[in-house]
Structure 1
Amino acid sequence: MKLVFFDARIWRYIVSAISKVIEEGVFVVDPEEGFLFRAMDPSHVIMLNMRFPRDSFEVFEVDSKVELGVNFEDVAKVLRRASKEDKLEITSDGNTVSFAFIGKGYRKFTLPLLDITAEELPEPQLEFKAIVKVMSDVYRDAIKDVELIGDVIRFIASQDEFKVVSSSDIGEAEIIYTRESGSIIEMEVEDTQQASYTLEYFSDLSGAARVADTITIKFSSDMPALIEHELQQGAKFSFLIAPRVD
């Protein structure tokens, strides 16, 4: 197996985010589908989903499905060495997986594969009554703002505006985006929708937004939320999080 992706830093931030939520897991490399990962955190509050389609790679040499069991913190440590303009090469011999940076030189790091099996998780079938698409920096700023106040994040969407709110004994943070403000790219909402979630997960995974072009937030009142990160070359990273019930 040999894969080459044009920007190692995208993988650096995505895997770093995953490592803050899940300790170990299995990357699946499928000859047709591409490079895949789907798993739930130990508490079953959140499900992560990553997909880099076959066509997103400069080199994609895989004869049959390959499963790569890894410790995400170990992989994240290696990928933190990615420099600007480095390409990422991923190879495996069945016992180890290697990550190499192709740039100013060739730097290769090899890790043992773990004997674990990929979780069989079905694609969630949910209908969302609020869909809000924003630029990634708008999303990241909102997370940073509410982090100052509380440990719960609340989304409130209506026909004309989208609010991100958090409150605690310290006080309240309220960030309001309107269609006229220019921060919202697209918004479709039925009536008014609002739901609360544990902020810690959003904070842990916010690093992934650094390499996303846009973020789409999908939710319904007191229902799970799906946060989709649109990456370059048609790749995607998303997480589905259960609502918080106080």
Structure 2
Amino acid sequence: MFKASLRDPKLLKHSIDAISNMVDEVGINVTAEGMTMRAMDPAHVALVDFELKRSAFDEYEVGEAIVLGIDLDRLNTILKRAGKEDKINLEVDPEKNTLKIRLENASTRTFNLPLIEVSEEELKVPDLDFPSTVEIKSDIISEGIKDAEIVSDHVILEVDKENFYIKAKGDLGNVEVKASKEGAISFDVTQDTRSMYSLEYLKDMIKASDIADTVKISLGDNIPVKMEFLSSDVKLSFLLAPRIESE
């Protein structure tokens, strides 16, 4: 048994939008503490870790812990229909093996999403030693990635003792976005670091900027970058493997 009512639709809507292009099918764990998901994209380039806490819900009822097999693309299509003022109600129908999604406002719209069989293999998050971690306003990384997309399909994330950089270079020119230590929420840098990453993945990851005002970015030389979008009710983090820079 699972029944829940989410008061702020953007927490689920924008989180699933950020994840769904990377991962097709997932198992969403539903426990007394909330909803969690950990998955890796088919190319093994990106790993996503998601938690929507019980505190995010006005109503939350669950019996034994369950795993919901979800086609994320279909779920994303439904959630995109939710307006800013809509309340999202979720309920499992065990007889029909569906997740009922009800969007309530001036009208009530009901969608029934078939549940699917998924692997319940538990993924472990790699234990990485990051020499640099900065926390900045999430719109800085969001706008910086969009700027980089104008000239390239990859981006360099770089940090020194004074600044965090987003850099891109291509046939149409180059772009540099600089965020200073003084303007950061936190800035813990033990060494200069630089790595290149795919914009294809980063464009999806920055959709999570709609759920959190800040993003924590952990970096090292030619290792995965970790981006964490955190608020009191939701946690969405990504690990993205680097691209190899050509000489």
- Structure 1 length-normalised TM: 0.93
SS in 2 for 1:58: strand
Residue number among 126, 129, 136 corresponding to 1:127 in the alignment: 129
Aligned 8 A contact 2:223 2:241 in 1: yes
1:176-232 per-residue CA deviation (whole Å, 9 max, x = no partner) reads 11124x3x221110121111111110012322212222111111111111111123x
Give the aligned residue type for 2:54. Answer: R
Structure 1 residue 77 corresponds to structure 2 residue 58: no
Give the aligned residue type for 1:243. Answer: P
Partner of 2:237: 238
1:163-182 per-residue CA deviation (whole Å, 9 max, x = no partner) reads 111112322211111124x3
Question: Offset of 1:72 from its aligned partner?
Answer: 1.0
Structure 1 residue 190 corresponds to structure 2 residue 190: yes
Counterpart-to-counterpart distance in 2, 1:122 and 1:179: 32
Pairs within 5 Å for 1:22-171: 22-31=23-32, 33-94=33-94, 95-171=97-173
Counterpart-to-counterpart distance in 1, 2:4 and 2:160: 44
What percentage of aligned pairs have identical amino acids? 32
Counterpart-to-counterpart distance in 2, 1:112 and 1:163: 44
Aligned 8 A contact 1:163 1:174 in 2: yes
Question: Offset of 1:15 from its aligned partner?
Answer: 1.0
Give the aligned residue type for 1:59. Answer: E
Partner of 2:178: 176
Counterpart-to-counterpart distance in 1, 2:93 and 2:66: 10
Question: Offset of 1:80 from its aligned partner?
Answer: 0.9
Counterpart-to-counterpart distance in 2, 1:170 and 1:109: 45
Counterpart-to-counterpart distance in 2, 1:238 and 1:119: 19
Give the aligned residue type for 1:110. Answer: N
Q: Which runs of 5+ in 2 are unaligned?
A: none
Counterpart-to-counterpart distance in 2, 1:56 and 1:84: 15
1:131-190 per-residue CA deviation (whole Å, 9 max, x = no partner) reads 11111211111111111111111111111111111112322211111124x3x2211101
Counterpart-to-counterpart distance in 2, 1:173 and 1:96: 47
Structure 1 vs Structure 2 CA RMSD: 1.4
Question: Offset of 1:13 from its aligned partner?
Answer: 1.5
Counterpart-to-counterpart distance in 1, 2:191 and 2:236: 28
Partner of 1:225: 225
Aligned 8 A contact 1:27 1:118 in 2: no
Q: Which runs of 5+ in 1 are unaligned?
A: none
- Structure 2 length-normalised TM: 0.93
